[in-house]
Amino acid sequence: MNASVNRWQDWVAVVIGAVVALSPLWVDTNNAAQWSMIVLGVLVAATGVANMMAPTSEMVVGAMGVLGVLLFVAPWVTGYADMAGAAWTSWVGGAATVLTALAAMPEGSRMHIGHGGGLAPHH
């Protein structure tokens, strides 16, 4: 692994994903809530790990943002918005994932612009 592993956004995504995926152990859920949180949590954590392995992949960061949106809307879509613990875990986890992805985007974009962090010269 290289120095890019130290990006805080990647580690935050892994922690958010792990907390969401494991939260059915301590919050009341139904079957839909449990599986939504486990699957989306694991996928969010996986985007953090994938971004550690390929820090210049903007597609991974984009996927992280999409997963955050899906996690945020999951309580309404899958019918557990009335389960406070599970719903709030999804809402906070989803919002935090989107914010983490947004924070990671400029950094990833800078890696692609001119290799030195600046704009490539135009001739």
At 113 the pLDDT is 47
Total count of domains within the chain: 1
Within a domain: 15: yes
- pLDDT tops 90 at residue 111: no
* Cα distances (Å, whole numbers) of residue 93 to 86, 107, 120: 10, 22, 37
For the stretch 11-62, pLDDT in tens is 999 999 999 999 999 999 999 999 999 999 999 999 999 988 887 778 999 9
Task: Give the percent of the chain with pLDDT over 90.
Answer: 67
Range of the domain at 35: 3-110
Q: Which of 87-91, 92-96, 109-113 has the weakest average pLDDT? A: 109-113
At 19 the pLDDT is 98
At 57 the pLDDT is 77
Within a domain: 118: no
**What is the DSSP track for 110-122?**
HHHSTTTSSPPP-
Tell me the one-letter amino acid at 112: H
Within a domain: 123: no
pTM, rounded to two decimals:
0.81
Please provide residue 30's backbone torsions phi and psi, each rounded to the nearest 5 degrees. Answer: -105, -175
Q: What is the mean pLDDT of the chain?
A: 86
User: What is the CA angle 9-29-94, rounded to 5?
Assistant: 25
